Amino acid sequence: MLRAKVESRRIAVRISFLLTLGITMVMHGQTHNSRVECWDIFELNLKGPSANESYWDTPVSAKFSHGNTHMTVPGFYDGKGQYCVRFSPPAAGKWTYITTSNIARLNNQTGVFTATAPSKDNHGPIEIFKTYYLRYTDGTPYHQFGTTCYAWIHQPQALQKTTLKTLASSPFNKIRFCVFPKDYTYNKNEPELFAFKKGRAGKFDYSHPDPAFWHHLEQRILDLQTLNIEADIILWHPYDRWGFKKMSDEQDERYLRYCIARLSAYRNVWWSLANEYDFMSDLDDRHRGIKTMADWDRFFSILQKEDPYQRMRGIHNGSIWYDHSKDWVIHTSIQTSDMNGGVRFRGQYEKPVIYDECKYEGNIPQGWGNIDARTMTQRFWLGTLSGCYVGHGETYKHTKDILWWSKGGVLHGQSPQRIQWLKDFMKTAPAFDELVPMGDDKGLFMLGKKNAYYLVYCHAGQTQTIELPGNHAYKVDAIDPWEMTEWPVGSLLSGTFTATAQAHDKVYRFTRYAPGETMRPEARPTASMTEGIAPLTVQFKSNSKHPVVWDFSDGTQSKQRTPEHTFSKPGIYTVAMTVTDDKGSTARGHVAILVDRDSSAPIVRAGSGPSNKPTLTLNGTAKRATDGTLQFTKGEPWGRAETQKDGSDALGALRSFTISGWLKPDDLTIGSGGNRILFCLQRSRAGIDLVHLADGRMRLAVNQWPDNVKNDSSPGRLV
């Protein structure tokens, strides 16, 4: 059903000139009346000689005219004697054309067609607006929420259809993917189709594109267009076992011009010159390639001069950034996790900034693919409040190596629904191009429309003091980006506001009161104490004369104005007090209560009899003696004891902790690598590593991610 629906949307008018033995059979040199939507595709098909080198030589072009507007569009050879010219009319009205070719039968073909008004869902291609922003050509807002599926079009058909189905219900309106297949971790399969045909020796013939592949790619572009998703097409990349990254200069240029001729007419096409362009060059020690910086400049220049429609142009970096300030770069496509830098990048490049890769939500070992869903959600908010755009990716392990970032399929993460919520939230705000970033590159994330509307992001445990200009009163609301909830906090009459977030990130919204609008009640709860040892009894007090409801964050509530509550277990409790005035208006205030355990009680206890916590799992030759101590053999096979996840996580969350106990080595003869005594380095790589070295020294390595590992070893020795 999806395929039939997609194909029905493809409105491409085909006009065929049937030529046999040099005799014009139909309508040669006459006017042809056809109709096509503005920004859709008028396709001129011409029958000519079967070609060899004509695959590349672009033996036909056409000049399209409408009033004082004239556009010359390159054609291409599509195999089996078929020559095509595709044109996307940028304006409604009558268009005429005339072809030019060094092949007589293709030369001086003329015709006329009418470009009609666009249909409801056809808003045209994306364009730059007010320097930093994006919109559709008809003025419809476009707020980019992208994702990455590098090799999805190179997978089996069933998986591609699953990807399209997933995209249809996702928040994403742009997808990055490659023309060439990828050879990389989790992505080793051989595609069915390639951009080029193979010669007799089984090697790819870079002078002969395979029309079957290009027809497939074009259908996928149209599938995305039906879903209102932009196709950010990556032209080159370094992860290649087939040789595409090492084509000659001439082959590269012919390939690029072929892409322009075939694909530029699709209104949802973007050009990305490369994924991690610097890894295809000798600019980085990790990858050696044949592409130079001059090559990338040359490719940009060709696109700038020869793309009739000036589609979006960018280039994606690995570790070395391209100079995005160059004129031929239309938007800044970056790979970085420096979310503080958004306002700086805007000022530096004065172009739309798109964080196309800020790492991926997932659980693979590689550092670029194991951030959690909270972090991915946070980065979308931080980029947005910096006046930038952000891209998503997902890399959860899969038994068949079907990871979204490479092959598509289905989404398993928790960030997409929260990205959708942010997308919907921003639709309720003033237009994105009316909002200006007012933060800095040191941790203040603030976006606003002066004297009208402001958003401020607070990280967990952070306090932000902001000053709003003018003598205006604002409604204050709090937003939980993870829980996807918002609630009224009260009012700011003017001036300074202190924004705080307790256990989790929070966003504050300030909306100016309309003239005559009723003020909200105030909700400012207080507590007799905010921290202590469990069980902790706290007296609370309301500042309001209106009815209140207290939620103590442990499943209990109270409607008293001055309740007393006992917290029996350790934890961080965000106590909420909701005030409702006589007119039904509400406001909610919070106070955080930190309930600790006895600091003298250990979090993890091992080798001490029945009081071990959490549960230890013994592996290999490890044994527990009758007195509860742990015993390990002095040689292979080795043994180890492991805690459950909650134990190591508890250690990893602490800024400092004490390890105490006894080690009694029966034999100091160990391997050159040492004897690992304690290891606690989890997904975030925060933790410790304690190793007994062969010379008796104890090496303690401490790492608080993302800082570097620090050696905290003692000079002493075990004897």
* pTM for the whole structure: 0.82
Q: What is the pLDDT of residue 477?
A: 98
Question: What percent of the chain clears pLDDT 70, i.e. is strictly above it?
Answer: 85
What is the radius of gyration, based on Cα positions, of the chain?
A: 32
- Give the β-pairing of 361-362 and 394-395: parallel
Q: What is the pLDDT of residue 445?
A: 98
What sign results for the dihedral spanned by CA atoms 216, 222, 226, 232?
positive
Q: What is the pLDDT of residue 584?
A: 93
Q: What is each CA distance from 512 to 424, 438, 448, 481, 523, in whole angstroms?
A: 21, 17, 11, 22, 19
Q: What is the pLDDT of residue 19?
A: 34
Q: What is the pLDDT of residue 45?
A: 96
Question: What stretches in the chain show pLDDT beneath 50?
Answer: 1-33, 653, 683-684, 705-707
Q: What is the pLDDT of residue 600?
A: 74
* 33 touches 56 (CB < 8 A): no
Q: What is each CA distance from 586 to 260, 576, 581, in whole angstroms?
A: 57, 13, 6
* 346 touches 388 (CB < 8 A): yes
Residue whose entry in the numeric block shows the structure tokens 């994330």: 445
Q: What is the pLDDT of residue 4?
A: 38
Q: What is the pLDDT of residue 43?
A: 97
Q: What is the pLDDT of residue 109?
A: 97
Q: What is the pLDDT of residue 6?
A: 38
Q: What is the pLDDT of residue 5?
A: 38
Burial of 91 (0-12, 13-18, 19+ CB in 10 A): exposed
